[in-house]
Amino acid sequence: MSTEKLIFEKGAPGRRTATLPALDIPEKSVETLVPAEFLRSEPAPLPEVSEIELVRHFTHLSQRNFGVDTGFYPLGSCTMKYNPKVNEDMAALPGFARLHPLTDDSMAQGALQVLYELEGYLAEISGMRRVTLQPAAGAHGEITGLMIIKAYHEHRGEHERTIVLIPDGAHGTNPASASLAGYTTVELQSDARGGVDLHHLEQVLAAHEGKIAALMMTNPNTLGVFDENIVEIARRVHDAGGQLYYDGANANAIMGITRPGDMGFDVVHFNLHKTCSTPHGGGGPGAGPVGVAPHLLPFLPGPLPAKGDDGYFWEDAGPLSIGRVRANCGNFLVLVRAYTYIRVNGPDGLRHVSESAVLNANYVVRALQDAYDLPYDRTCMHEFVFSANRQKRHDVHALDIAKRLLDFGVHPPTIYFPLIVAEAMMIEPTETETKETLDEFIDIMRQIAREAQEQPELILEAPHVTVVGRLDQTLAARKPDLRWQPDPVATAT
Amino acid sequence: MSYVPNTAAEQQAMLQAVGVETIEELLSPVPADVRLKRPLALPAALAEPDIKRVMGALAERNADLDHFPSFLGAGSYDHITPSVVPHLVKRSEFYTSYTPYQPEISQGMLQAIYEFQTMVCQLTGMDVANASLYDGSTAVVEAAMLAIGTGTGDILVSRALDPQYRATLRTYAWVRGFNLIEVDLENGATSVAALEAALTPQTKAVIIQHPNFFGALEDVRAVEQLAHKAGAIYVVAFTEPAALALLEAPGEFGADIVVGEGQCLGSPLGYGGPALGIFASRNEYLRRLPGRLVGKTVDDRGQTGYVLTLQTREQHIRRERATSNICTNQALLALAATVYLAALGKTGFRELGEQCLRRAHFAQEHICSVNGFTPLFSRPFFDEFAVTCPLPVEHLNAGLRARGIIGGYDLSRDYPELTNAALFCVTETRTRDDIDALVAALEEIVSDDA
């Protein structure tokens, strides 16, 4: 079947799956306990399905979904590495999963120890002094980091620092976060080698003297290129009174090799759902811890895990803290998975992760660079960006190549990003793929490049083997249908 | 163990294919002066059996709710999870997938989110719901920021909104530059008179929680009239979604935006996270909604399919002009909530609400039969209630801990004026034996003290 009915279209009145505990107290009528004016007149119209229907429905849906466990997922900048099963088992231990967030510290010592130690591990990996574990995702980490920078400048009385510099290759969350934090963004141009254009940086810093709050960047950047001028960039930004923010989306390239703190960064966010192998969950949850250099410690959100003579405890943040950025301590069970991953890898293992990620990316790019344009031809780090410009001559675009890859059971690369590469295809193999998988991908990409010349219609009509074909995005946006509604005719009868 | 499958020999062959001798050569773009010249100072690697032992020992040092009957709610609620929920959520085609940017191979997650959006609308009485936000507190923040838009203004927030949510709002109010004004309480709910006095033409939104932090039901219609008369957006927050099983849907009493926490719909408490931020609104705010939306459409073969839609609101398209910076959300918890709500279904979810209500009222009656315990407020409540105690709550809770029971929340932590006041939560997971044990323990602690 190529469609799966909605859960609302299944079942029958009176069917159900879950049972509740036997009522072992007197059954008082609801109306005697709460005035009728507060109550629903009808139960919410949720589905009425039996357990077998429910299980088959969601099993069928899972079969209509592609994950890392299904196949190769070289989605650039997303680090879709294998998600170890032991991480899942550790996060499901009742001592972690069944723990209330407001449990007295004395009864949550194990959880506090995990958080305390994880903070230390992340500080060591990034070269930062301390790390807040509250942010729920990378973008949440970005806004948190920018708030810390803002509080720092305000504390120094430098309220006129209202500009955040963002390279033209940056992730979309960077400008969105800066804007949310009340900053004006100024775009920095890339140079011919794909790094920050130092000359343009100099001009921008001079043009906005005294107004620079921060520069946000990834290194390696979204081209997969390590900006070798980073120390010079850091010096100039700091001389201009700005702070340097590290977007950790690409940290899988650097563990044990270099650290943002050693490059001169003041604030770092991690994406544990990328670098530390926690599953992406079909869109989340992630975790976006933020590390800071010593001068920014007073501004961290609180509370922070601490260790005293009587064990671990939550320590309130000081008076200069930006305050909370969410309720409770963060995406704790994601943090438990990341903690497990770091301890399983150890220091040598993490370095091996990054080195292998770099090797796999270079292996693929070198094997394919005669078939696709490589606008920035350099030794890459963990990912690289091809352009489909050559294929475009046959009217085959990056989108079409992406759709054709679906026919081979491969998740497409990130396309049309970064914006500085036309027809961009951003490929990140990750370290957890075998040589055979990479070789197979290379063969498929070469075949598609040949098809583009010889049978472009095969690509333009792709995908051919998926449960649905190309979907009408325009219709979806023009006539938004965002929820199921009962059929009025059927309901009336 | 790095989960790197390729052996050293295979890696050597790959290096040769690349045209270099060593991995070190590939790292040459990283300048020497920023290279880490020592191993990371981290504990040595552990084999899988060893990490299980380490983690097992750490987990044992936490008071999990399977072993400690708990009367703690205060924003996080313990509800049953039918076995089908984790089994289906752990289908790895779901949990190892990324955000569904490639709809042809993501129909499963997209359809599940479409079903989630529908169920949220069914529970809240709203027209549209998004695919999730980080948690209840950040959902409230997003509602405030939608109301503020690109300008500035006042956001009125009830002091009976969860204290952690108010703290989060304060952080964002500072950075985003809007005024956050707290509205005082009367008898454990938002004071209608104080609200009326605080409303001005600058008021962009009124935010209340229902049931509120004290478990009490708010005067939702009076607040609605005042908010709308002043031209403000009426935001209703919730932390306990089980209340929506029994209580009138906020859409019925005039809410414009409904936000809240949905973690307990099928996902574990997990020491507070991951959580599930829920955001629903009336149609008129559709194009200002934060976060992802799934819509139904057709494919080139005429079949029904689902896609992420209205993406021009979002950061990856709109960049600095996006309605929110959110990218990664809590999709897997939205899936869990969808399976959970379908598993309970129309009658089961209603029954869940009834059980919580009955057990909480039974517990309140019995706790208040102990000498010195009286209800703090007289307002109707759902499954949580505030009680005045004869002793400091810290003292009571220490006594309960010694007896293996997790007591109520000490309200003086957030409301200094509420000394000796505890907030007890009783859901369907607390048996009569649990409640009897709590009451007996309270009696002992009080008489020991006398």
pLDDT of A491 over the 60 cut: no
Helix or strand holding residue A404 (H, E): helix A398-406
Chosen from B65, B104, B133, B434 to mutate, greatest number of chain A CBs within 10 A: B104
Asked if A328 lies within 8 A of B62 by C-beta distance, the reply is no
Average the pLDDT over B121-126 and give the result.
Answer: 98
Higher pLDDT among residues B319 and A150, named by residue: A150
Contact yes or no for B105/A406 (Cβ under 8 A): yes
Burial A124-150 (b: 16+ CB within 10 A, else e): bbbbbebbbbbbbbbbbbbbbbbbbbb
Distance between CA atoms of residues A345 and B97, nearest Å: 23
> Is any Cβ of chain A less than 8 angstroms from the Cβ of B134?
yes
Helix or strand holding residue A247 (H, E): strand A243-248
Percent of chain A scoring above 90 in pLDDT: 97
Which residue on chain A is closest to B31 by alpha carbon? A228
The residues, ordered by sequence, that sit 6+ positions from A490 with a Cβ below 8 Å of its Cβ are none
Distance between CA atoms of residues A298 and A195, nearest Å: 33
pLDDT of B151 over the 90 cut: no
Chain B partners within 8 Å of A54 (Cβ): 84, 88, 339, 342-343
> Is any Cβ of chain A less than 8 angstroms from the Cβ of B12?
no
Percent of chain A scoring above 70 in pLDDT: 98
Which residues 318-337 of chain B have a CB within 8 Å of chain A?
318-322, 324-333, 335
Average the pLDDT over A304-325 and give the result.
Answer: 97
Alpha helices in B177-264 (DSSP H): 192-198, 220-229
Asked if B346 lies within 8 A of A46 by C-beta distance, the reply is yes
Kindly report the average pLDDT of chain A as a whole number: 96
Which residues 17-56 of chain A have a CB within 8 Å of chain B?
17-21, 23-28, 30, 33-35, 38-41, 43-49, 51, 54-55
Distance between CA atoms of residues A115 and B9, nearest Å: 38
Contact yes or no for B190/B239 (Cβ under 8 A): no
Chain B partners within 8 Å of A74 (Cβ): none
Give how far B94 is from chain A: nearest CA, Å: 6
Asked if B339 lies within 8 A of A54 by C-beta distance, the reply is yes
- Render pLDDT for A391-429 as a digit per residue (tens, 0 to 9): 999 999 999 999 999 999 999 999 999 999 999 999 999
pLDDT of B418 over the 70 cut: yes
For the sheet containing B277-281, what is the strand order? Answer: B128-129, B277-281, B257-261, B233-238, B203-209, B154-158, B179-183
Report the pLDDT value the prediction gives residue B328, as an integer from 0 to 100. Answer: 85
Write the burial class of residue B284 (CB in 10 Å: 0-12 exposed, 13-18 middle, 19+ buried).
exposed
Asked if A284 lies within 8 A of B98 by C-beta distance, the reply is no
Distance between CA atoms of residues A82 and A67, nearest Å: 10
Distance between CA atoms of residues B90 and A282, nearest Å: 12
Kindly report the average pLDDT of chain B as a whole number: 96
Residue with tokens 């689902």: B306
Contact yes or no for B70/B406 (Cβ under 8 A): yes
Contact yes or no for A133/A119 (Cβ under 8 A): yes
Report the pLDDT value the prediction gives residue B450, as an integer from 0 to 100. Answer: 76
Asked if A284 lies within 8 A of B269 by C-beta distance, the reply is no
Helix or strand holding residue B100 (H, E): none
Contact yes or no for B147/B235 (Cβ under 8 A): yes
Give how far B448 is from chain A: nearest CA, Å: 22
The DSSP code for A475 is: H
Report the pLDDT value the prediction gives residue A489, as an integer from 0 to 100. Answer: 61
Report the pLDDT value the prediction gives residue B316, as an integer from 0 to 100. Answer: 74
Asked if B29 lies within 8 A of A379 by C-beta distance, the reply is yes
Pairing of strands B257-261, B233-238: parallel
Q: How many helices (H) and strands (E) does chain A have?
A: 18, 12
Phi-psi region of A284 (alpha: psi -120 to 50; beta: other; left: phi over 0): left
Average the pLDDT over A15-41 and give the result.
Answer: 96
Report the pLDDT value the prediction gives residue A9, as an integer from 0 to 100. Answer: 97
Residue with tokens 């790959």: B14
From residue A116, alpha-carbon distances to A120, A121, A304, A306 in Å are: 7, 9, 8, 7
> Is any Cβ of chain A less than 8 angstroms from the Cβ of B175?
yes
pLDDT of B247 over the 70 cut: yes
| Residues composing chain B | 450
Classified by CATH at the fold level, domain A88-345 comes out as Aspartate Aminotransferase; domain 2 (3.40.640)
Six-digit token string for A171 = 């992730």
pLDDT of B55 over the 60 cut: yes
Phi-psi region of A322 (alpha: psi -120 to 50; beta: other; left: phi over 0): alpha
> Is any Cβ of chain A less than 8 angstroms from the Cβ of B60?
yes
Instruction: Let me know if domain A353-476 sits in CATH 3.90.1150.10.
Output: yes
Strand partners, B308: B294
Contact yes or no for A166/A186 (Cβ under 8 A): yes
Contact yes or no for A300/A144 (Cβ under 8 A): no
pLDDT of A224 over the 90 cut: yes
Six-digit token string for A477 = 């946006």
pLDDT of A270 over the 90 cut: yes
Give how far A35 is from chain B: nearest CA, Å: 8
pLDDT of B327 over the 90 cut: no
- Render pLDDT for A56-90 as a digit per residue (tens, 0 to 9): 999 999 999 999 999 999 999 999 999 999 999 99
Report the pLDDT value the prediction gives residue A172, as an integer from 0 to 100. Answer: 86
Percent of chain B scoring above 70 in pLDDT: 100
SS3 A72: coil
SS3 A306: strand
Report the pLDDT value the prediction gives residue B317, as an integer from 0 to 100. Answer: 72
Report the pLDDT value the prediction gives residue B318, as an integer from 0 to 100. Answer: 74
> Is any Cβ of chain B less than 8 angstroms from the Cβ of A358?
yes
Which residues 314-353 of chain A have a CB within 8 Å of chain B?
322-334, 336, 340, 342-353
pLDDT of A492 over the 50 cut: no
Residue with tokens 């930004």: A237
> Is any Cβ of chain A less than 8 angstroms from the Cβ of B105?
yes
> Is any Cβ of chain A less than 8 angstroms from the Cβ of B75?
yes
List, in order of start, the domains of chain B with CATH numbers.
84-340 (3.40.640.10), 346-449 (3.90.1150.10)
Contact yes or no for A63/B108 (Cβ under 8 A): yes
> Is any Cβ of chain B less than 8 angstroms from the Cβ of A419?
no
Asked if B30 lies within 8 A of A258 by C-beta distance, the reply is yes
**CB-nearest partner of B36 from A39, A257, A356:** A257
Distance between CA atoms of residues A182 and B172, nearest Å: 10
Distance of CA A213 to the CA centre of its chain: 25
Average the pLDDT over B181-203 and give the result.
Answer: 98
Six-digit token string for A274 = 């990328």
User: In sequence order, what DSSP letters do the residues of A354-368 get, joined into one string?
Assistant: HHHHHHHHHHHHHHH
Chosen from A8, A23, A25 to mutate, greatest number of chain B CBs within 10 A: A25
Report the pLDDT value the prediction gives residue B193, as an integer from 0 to 100. Answer: 98
Chain A partners within 8 Å of B435 (Cβ): 25
Which residues 263-292 of chain B have a CB within 8 Å of chain A?
268-275, 286, 292
Q: How many CB atoms lie under 10 A from the CB of residue A197? A: 18
ipTM: 0.97
Distance between CA atoms of residues A212 and A214, nearest Å: 6
Which residues 381-440 of chain B have a CB within 8 Å of chain A?
382, 397, 401, 406, 409, 428-429, 431-433, 435
Report the pLDDT value the prediction gives residue A454, as an integer from 0 to 100. Answer: 97
SS3 B324: coil
Banded pLDDT at B78 (limits 50, 70, 90): very high
From residue B225, alpha-carbon distances to A486, B116, B196, B204, B220 in Å are: 31, 30, 10, 15, 9
Burial B116-138 (b: 16+ CB within 10 A, else e): bbbbbbbbbbbbbbbbbbbbbbb
**CB-nearest partner of B406 from A103, A185, A273:** A103
End-to-end CA distance of chain B: 59
Nearest to A244 by CA among B29, B34, B138: B34
Higher pLDDT among residues B449 and B146, named by residue: B146
Distance between CA atoms of residues B208 and B258, nearest Å: 10
Helix or strand holding residue B238 (H, E): strand B233-238
Domain ranges within chain A, ordered by starting residue: 7-63, 88-345, 353-476
> Is any Cβ of chain A less than 8 angstroms from the Cβ of B299?
yes
Chain A partners within 8 Å of B342 (Cβ): 7, 17, 46-47, 49, 54, 57
Chain B partners within 8 Å of A73 (Cβ): 98
- Render pLDDT for A317-335 as a digit per residue (tens, 0 to 9): 999 999 999 999 999 999 9
Nearest to A220 by CA among A185, A198, A190, A249: A249
Nearest to B39 by CA among A310, A262, A347, A193: A347
Give how far A60 is from chain B: nearest CA, Å: 8
Banded pLDDT at B449 (limits 50, 70, 90): confident
pLDDT of A490 over the 60 cut: no
